[in-house]
Chain A
Amino acid sequence: MKKALQIALGIVTSVGGYLEIGSVATAVQAGAAFRFQLLWAIALGTLCLIFLVEMSGRLAAVSHHTLIEAVRERFGFPFFSLLLVVVSLVTLAVLASEIGGVSLAIQMATGISYPWWAFVVALLVWLVLWKGTFGIIENGVSLLGLVTIVFLVGAVTLHPSWHQVGAGFLPSLPKDDRAHYWFIAVSILGACITPYLFIFYSAGAVEDNWDESYLGVNRATAALGMTFGGLLSAAVLIAAAMVFPQQGIQIDQVEQIPLMLTVSLGQWGFILFVISLGIACLGAALEIALALAYLMAQGFGWNWGEDEKESNAARFSLAYTVAVVIAAVPIALGVDPLKLTVLTMAITAASLPFTVVPFLFLMNDEEYLGDHTNGWLSNGVVIFSIALAFVLAVVSIPLEIFGS
């Protein structure tokens, strides 16, 4: 019974972690520009994510090492330093996008421009991190994130052609605008396979004292949670594809996005969209800020833990405090959150080799995994993910120039 509850909570947490401004923005752009044609990118990203998240949890449960601790120990300080710089920069940009997402949700509710809310949101994020426990962040905010199911309701009530939706899961090229098509595909993959998720998930498993008896919970959480998150992301794409192309609307500002729910669900569609955007981005901002602090603390061997008293993990607390303040600055200066998000997702895709390659070595190392090293299927997916990560790293910047 306890394990079933943990699986349920894990699934909810995964949904909260999956759906955030990056997945929403890229899915909406894909639906508006290419209707259902990019559903395959969400499916592919979700499949890779399921395997990589499961591996992060398995590593933590069996070895009691977080992903970062294991990388630091196995690959040494020079590689860790490189990973630290790349992942910190990318993750800070993602954190800025999430703060922008919450600020935009408040703007939609109040009419007051989002830059004014940036530091208010940053303060809220910091307060929850400072006062809250890991359980509150992991389960509380994620439970609230269930409101994002409204995207699924919105997509279904728009009565899409399920035949066309099904066809979208098979990759196909559009007649025009191919650079833009590939740019969005890369951005979707960047939004799905975000490094902070692995860092947060493996640190969470250690914070929750997982051991080998949790391997089943881990597998179920990764598979069901990420699938459900991917389903919601696909629902966003479908709803956007049903509303925007026939109105002739291109997505170039976040304020356009609620319209995909108001058309089918009226006033409740608007209210639930604003709440969903605010909560999903707040949940993501909390997880990302923690992931950045985990990255620093675990890499440098500081005391860490969200449940630790701040005085016992002062440098850990300082790390998320500084991250939140820095990330609020571009939003307060008026940087467009949608442009920042799409750019960030492409850069995330470019940084993937740094976070994906270590999985292949760590997950086949018996010193860490004992009898639980990767089988042929998991290794196949890691090798595919590494190949995909290198392709994305090479193409994302040129596509950013020509296709954004």
Chain B
Amino acid sequence: MHRGDVLRSLLLPAALLVAGCGSSDDAEKELRSIASRAATAHLVTGEWERGAAATPYASSTLRVIAGNLEKDSSSLASLPLPARHRGILGAHLSELSLAVREAGAAVSQGNRPAARNAMQRMDAVARAFIPPVATP
């Protein structure tokens, strides 16, 4: 999956969600920001895997992103979204945050297969994000 696809796969359901719940700037901004964090985590891990980014940088950046994603969970809870949609988004956000944290741990340990696996999980979360929300 192309790194940009992570964003698109998050943005599509986000757009549907926002459109479906009476459009909210705050919701759109929040979802766009989560998508950006996911794309950054994916890019950092990928750059580390190909040897372009140093380990201390990649692991600390992934740690910060995971922390920010966890903070996003609480801001997501305050968004004016239907409870079902909020629940779905929250579950995927938790998975995403976990995958980013695992990517950070894999980077710290120099474990490339685990980092690749975490990247795949980030992609999977993004893919799984689409159907339940896109279905009316």
Contact = CB atoms under 8 A, between A and B. Distances in A.
Interface of A: 107-113, 246-250, 252-253, 255-256, 258-259, 262-263, 266-267, 269-271, 274
Contact of A111 (B36, B39, B52, B60): B60
Interface in B1-46: 3-4, 6-8, 11, 32-33, 35-36, 39-40, 43-44
B7 A255 contact: no
B57 A248 contact: no
Contacts of A258: 53, 57
A35 to B, nearest CB: 15
A270 B51 CA distance: 10
Contact of B39 (A110, A247, A255, A267): A247
Main secondary structure of the interface of B (DSSP, over half): helix
A262 B52 contact: yes
Interface residues of B, number: 28
Contacts, number: 80
A151 B59 CA distance: 24
B52 A266 contact: yes
Given A248-B11, A248-B35, A263 B47 contact: yes
A392 B52 CA distance: 40
B64 A111 contact: no
Given A252-B33, A255-B61, A259-B44, A247 B53 contact: no
Given A259-B43, A263-B47, A253 B64 contact: yes
Per DSSP, chain A at the interface is helix
A108 B39 contact: no
Interface of B: 3-4, 6-8, 11, 32-33, 35-36, 39-40, 43-44, 47, 50-57, 59-61, 64, 68
Given A255-B60, A267-B54, 16 more contacts: A108-B57, A108-B60, A112-B60, A248-B7, A248-B36, A252-B33, A253-B64, A256-B40, A256-B61, A258-B53, A258-B57, A259-B43, A262-B52, A263-B52, A266-B52, A270-B53
B36 A255 contact: no
Contacts of B47: 259, 262-263, 270
B60 A249 contact: no
B74 to A, nearest CB: 17
A34 to B, nearest CB: 15
